[in-house]
Amino acid sequence: MRNVRVYQDRELLPPPRRQGRTAIYSDAHLVRLRLIINMLERGYAFAQIKEMISAWEAGRSLGDVLGLEEVVGESWADEAPRAVTITELRRQFGKQLTPNNVKRAIDLGLLERRGRSFVSPSPQLLDAGTELVSLGVPLSEVLDLAEQLQQDIDHVAGHLVEMVRAHVLTRPVPTEDEVPFYTDVLHRLRPLVKSALNAAAARSAARVIPEVLGDRLIEMLADADDQAKRA
């Protein structure tokens, strides 16, 4: 919070909207904050950052600038985070809810601490993990899967976004049209990435799951045949 005030004092970050005594920060503030931190980590001084942001904003309306920052900061999730108590987690995972497994879930971003309770940023992932554990998969291996799945999805999504960067974002755009152009690209990219990844995952599951179950069915038939011969 102290850094936020510093950025505001240096006119790098717009002031929040006030509702009584409460300061309301929007997604646009979060995007601007990330940009400032990123530039500081790259070695830029406050004065340089202010000069670059001011130069970029020159000639653009506040609505355009905030509109782009809002769309960059929008959540891509179709689900809302869900609060979950330690009692609920114990009921779901039993003795497998060890301190190490809880810490790993937090490190992976599957859980976030909120005082004595937690928040699940993705209830769908939490529910999927609960179902796998109920089927008999050890929680530690479910967490291994979650980590590997995130790495694989990051890799695929990165390829898709890189194609857009190479073939779309490098396209010459008149200065006055830059902000609306990038805002439109982000709006179109969001459902595109989601639908492509969902469709690919569905096609992969349709191929892989029957193969796995088919192998098990063959084993069952072979066992039944052996038992019949022995009888």
Cα dihedral sign for 63, 22, 76, 108? positive
Instruction: Tell me the C-alpha distance between 28 and 35, whole Å.
Output: 11
**Cα–Cα distance measured from residue 149 to residue 155, given in angstroms and rounded to the nearest whole number:** 10
The pTM of the full predicted model, rounded to 2 decimals, is 0.61
CATH architecture of 2-73: Orthogonal Bundle (1.10)
Give the tens place of pLDDT for each residue, 104-143.
Answer: 999 999 999 988 889 998 999 999 999 999 999 999 999 9
pLDDT in tens, 19-46: 777 777 776 677 778 778 878 888 888 8
What Rg, from alpha-carbon coordinates, does the chain have?
Answer: 25
Which tokens belong to 136? 């008999």
pLDDT of residue 56: 66
Long-range contacts of range 11-17, CB-CB < 8 Å, 24 or more positions apart?
11/50, 12/36, 12/46, 12/49, 12/50, 12/53
> In the predicted model, is pLDDT for residue 146 greater than 60?
yes
Longest dimension (CA), the chain: 88
Q: What pLDDT score was predicted for residue 71?
A: 58
**SS3 at position 114:** strand
Q: Which two tokens stand for residue 170?
A: 């490098």
- Would you say 157 and 197 are in contact if contact means Cβ atoms under 8 Å apart? yes
Q: How far is CA 150 from the centre of its chain?
A: 9
Q: Which amino acid is at 110?
A: L
